[in-house]
């Protein structure tokens, strides 16, 4: 049994009814007059009605055709408005942009970038999730994620956001006064660590170092384990032990004298933070808006001149 498209021929019928001419309708639709005549004839045959009265001089609607036109015309205008709105939506950033990022990124990067974005694109709703674990963007319905380069999925497009992320061992001045300041990773064995456990995976953070081309980890003893970066820093400020942290998350504490950093030269830097997203998303206006904002923010932040990988 052949199934016909209910809308087949409707646009042609409306054009002929609007212009009272097969020739004009053909010109407006960009097809031949013969194609218009065939489409109307098939529509009439399919529904067993006569829609137009045709003479050599004029085209007019039959009573049935006029009734159909009156019913279809308002709907056709609604459809045209909907399609116009669709094109406008494609051209103007709007909708909801869902982003997943670590707590540190949200507090120290997005907190600065988001006001810029909202000022430039008020029609886009930002839905930001704080999550330190691995996130399946497509499976969990996110538009983009922000992670260190080593944590970016390889089948995603990635855009560099920051210079390399550097790390330090920090403690309060009081802790260093009581226990001394380690000058090499080997001396950490005699210190107290505040250890960090990743909240999602449950994995302990290993303190990684390099020296003379050799990479190694040090298991620093400690009687405290936390899964909150904020708690990690608070305990370090209170002299409870050493903490392994990124410089960006403790910059204010170091500047204020609440924490002091050491062993920076022994800790390898990460390549930097990247925005990553599925390739199919790069054409969406909301994603282009985010990329433009990141580029402007990165330029204003001076960066290190290293180009993104790749720039969509």
CATH number of residue 27's parent domain = 1.10.10.10
Six token digits for residue 210: 């390099």
Whole-model pTM: value is: 0.63
**82 plus 104 within the same structural domain:** no
Give the phi and the psi of residue 215 in degrees, each rounded to 5: -100, 135
Torsion of CA 104, 110, 112, 118, to 10 degrees: -160
**Ordered strands of the 243-246 beta sheet:** 243-246, 167-171, 260-262
Q: Which pLDDT value is given to residue 139?
A: 79
Which of 56, 89, 114 is closest to 293 using CA atoms? 114
User: CB–CB of 281/259 below 8 Å?
Assistant: no
Ranges of the chain whose pLDDT falls below 70: 1-4, 84-91, 150-154, 301-312
Give the phi and the psi of residue 176 in degrees, each rounded to 5: -65, -35
Q: Which pLDDT value is given to residue 89?
A: 58
**171 plus 156 within the same structural domain:** no
Q: Which pLDDT value is given to residue 283?
A: 80
Q: Which pLDDT value is given to residue 180?
A: 94
Q: What is the pLDDT of residues 71-104, one digit of tens each?
A: 888 888 778 777 766 665 566 788 899 999 888 8
Six token digits for residue 18: 């609007």
Q: Which pLDDT value is given to residue 118?
A: 93
Q: How far apart are CA 264 and CA 235, in angstroms?
A: 20
Structural domain boundaries enclosing 203: 167-266
- CA 199, distance to chain mean position in Å, is 23
Q: What are all long-range contacts of 67-72, with beta carbons under 8 Å and residues at least 24 apart?
A: 68/13, 69/13, 69/14, 69/17, 72/10, 72/13, 72/14
Q: Measured on CA atoms in the order 24, 27, 28, 29, is the torsion positive or negative? A: positive
Q: Within a domain: residue 126? A: yes
User: Of 64, 91, 118, which marks where a domain is finished?
Assistant: 91
**201 plus 133 within the same structural domain:** no
**44 plus 127 within the same structural domain:** no
Q: What is the CATH number of the domain that holds 244?
A: 3.40.190.10
Q: Within a domain: residue 61? A: yes
Q: Within a domain: residue 4? A: no
Torsion of CA 300, 301, 302, 307, to 10 degrees: -90
The total number of structural domains that make up the chain: 3
């Amino acid at each position: 049994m052949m199934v016909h498209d209910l809308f087949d021929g409707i646009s042609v019928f409306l054009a002929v009814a609007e212009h009272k001419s097969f020739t004009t309708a053909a010109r407006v639709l960009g097809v031949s007059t013969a194609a218009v005549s065939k489409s109307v004839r098939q529509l009439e045959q399919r529904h067993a009605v006569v829609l137009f009265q045709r003479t050599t001089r004029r085209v007019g609607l039959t009573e049935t055709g006029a009734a159909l036109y009156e019913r279809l015309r308002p709907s056709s205008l609604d459809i045209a408005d909907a399609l116009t709105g669709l094109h406008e939506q494609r051209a103007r950033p709007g909708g909801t942009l869902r982003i997943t990022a670590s707590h540190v990124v949200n507090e120290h990067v997005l907190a600065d970038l988001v006001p810029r974005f909202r000022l430039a694109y008020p029609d886009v709703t930002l839905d930001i999730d704080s999550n330190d674990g691995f996130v399946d963007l497509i499976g969990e319905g996110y538009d983009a994620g922000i992670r260190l380069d080593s944590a970016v999925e390889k089948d995603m497009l990635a855009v560099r956001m920051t210079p390399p992320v550097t790390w330090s061992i920090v403690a309060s001045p009081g802790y260093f006064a009581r226990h001394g300041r380690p000058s090499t990773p080997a001396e950490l064995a005699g210190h107290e660590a505040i250890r960090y456990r990743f909240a999602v995976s449950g994995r302990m953070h290993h303190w990684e170092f390099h020296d003379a081309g050799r990479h190694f980890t040090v298991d620093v003893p400690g009687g405290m384990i936390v899964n909150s970066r904020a708690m990690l820093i608070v305990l370090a400020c209170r002299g409870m032990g050493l903490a392994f942290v990124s410089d960006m998350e403790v910059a204010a504490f170091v500047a204020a004298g609440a924490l002091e950093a050491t062993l920076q030269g022994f800790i390898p830097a990460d390549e930097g933070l990247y925005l990553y997203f599925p390739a199919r998303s790069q054409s969406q206006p909301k994603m282009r808006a985010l990329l433009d904002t990141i580029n402007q923010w990165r330029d204003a932040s001076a960066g290190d001149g290293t180009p993104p990988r790749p720039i969509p």
